[in-house]
Amino acid sequence: MKKLKQRWNIQSDWQLTVIFIVFAITGSTSAKFAGPLTEAVGITKDIGWYVYWPVRILIIFPIYQVLLVTFGWLFGEYEFFWNFEKKMLRSMKLGFLLKK
């Protein structure tokens, strides 16, 4: 945990705990939203796993990004999660989404 705290520039165990909670809530919530949204666009498991799962993952991705920053803000860790988000998008070569 010490290395993770150093890497993320986190000062306390409490802050690390809050960050883990935000990651857990965000992952669960985005996965929960993906099912109804996938069905809303007409994609069901009947289509086949090779279409269903890639589409579902593409739907989860933007939901996760928005929820991560939102839950981070609600838990008082907006700055950490906004910086985390920017770093993740840049590493995925999607940094152009951050430019105004």
Predicted local distance difference test score (pLDDT) of residue 79: 94
Residue 23's pLDDT band (boundaries 50, 70, 90)? very high
Segment among 1-10, 50-59, 89-98 with least mean pLDDT: 89-98
The mean per-residue pLDDT over the stretch 17-44 comes to: 92
**Residue 21 neighbours by CB under 8 Å, 6+ apart:** 75
Predicted local distance difference test score (pLDDT) of residue 27: 93
The mean per-residue pLDDT over the stretch 44-53 comes to: 88
pLDDT over threshold 70, residue 100 = no
Gap between the Cα atoms of 85 and 87, Å rounded:
5
Per the listing, tokens 């949204």 go with: 37
Predicted local distance difference test score (pLDDT) of residue 95: 76
The mean per-residue pLDDT over the stretch 10-27 comes to: 94
Higher pLDDT, 100 or 83: 83
Q: What percentage of the chain's residues is helix, strand, coil (to nearest 5)? A: 80, 0, 20
Q: What separation in angstroms does the CA of 88 have from each of 25, 49, 61, 83, 95?
A: 18, 27, 12, 9, 9
